[in-house]
Structure 1
Amino acid sequence: MSRNSRGNGKKVSNHVSSLPSDTDEEEYIVEKILDRREKNGEIEYLLKWIGFSDDDNTWEPKKNLCCYDLIAAFESKRNEKEKMKKKHINIKEKEKHPSLKENLENKQDELSQEKKAVKKKTKVQMPSLLTGFDRNMEAEKILGATDDSPSGELLFLIKWKSSDDCDLVPSSLANKLCPQVVIKFYEKNLYWPNSKSKTSAKN
């Protein structure tokens, strides 16, 4: 059965049916519709035939076809593709020509990112405050103490050996790294009333 034998006005269907034996017209079964075109003002469909290879696919006029369900399914799918294509084009156009509001939002985002970058850079560039312990120096004595710190922690003013430098050091750090110096400071600066003073105070 050749490709040409299915054209030239013969009816084609997607349903198996038999024709009277006294007619020369044959009926073939359409497997699916592959494409659509307009030729000389007439709609034609590219058909894949059951039992035939893709080499035997043919363009057939719509008026010769009886496979209405396949045509309806193909046209529905084709319309969906057209809608998606238009939507995709609209999105691309919108990206090329964003609205004023979108431009402002983009500018605000850029400024926000720049501010964050500057802030981060500033933090990185700020030098850290090192104490004598960080410089491998040895504590000589504690000159004084204060709790005037952002955290409220007690700070010791420490004088370093072989240096005129003094640093405020958190008491928790000093207790670990120079406990004897801390003890000497407390012994020198803490006064306890003696028992005689207590007795006289009671009388």
Structure 2
Amino acid sequence: MATRRSKRGVGENEFQVDSILARRVLRDGRVEYLLKWKGCSDSENSWEPEQNLNCADLMAKFNTQNQKGEPMDVEGAPSQDEVEEILGAARMNSEIFYLVKLKGDSLAQFFPSRLASEKFPKLVIDFYEQRADMQ
């Protein structure tokens, strides 16, 4: 059973994970997954640290599918209106990731290029136009 352990209050609550929507690596190297909770609306999707999850089967399936280049589910990813700016880009495992600062968030997050190109394409274009050397 895919669950998340959460220590809220006195007892330990467990919530079932319906699916994994995205994965991110924070600046300090911690890995988080964007989760869709079973029986919950999309507005309750949340980023959770890898170590809090008890759904190795879903994480393995998600990571395997994304290594094969299959389409990533972008439900729950930020829209262009939620993104403040793209701070940088990096190549990891032969894929480009953008370091993105969201409005109202002090930490930047990495998003894969295929997700960024679909959800906030104008910002991706602006990012490269600002760095283009037009001589």
Q: Report if TM-score (shorter chain) is over 0.5.
A: no
> Comparing both chains, which one has the higher relative contact order based on Cα–Cα distances under 8 Å and sequence gaps of 6 or more?
2
Structure in which a larger fraction of residues adopt helix? 1
**Which TM-score band applies after superposition, normalised by the shorter structure?**
0.3 to 0.5
Query: What is the TM-score when the length of structure 2 is the normalising length?
Result: 0.44
Structure in which a larger fraction of residues adopt strand? 2
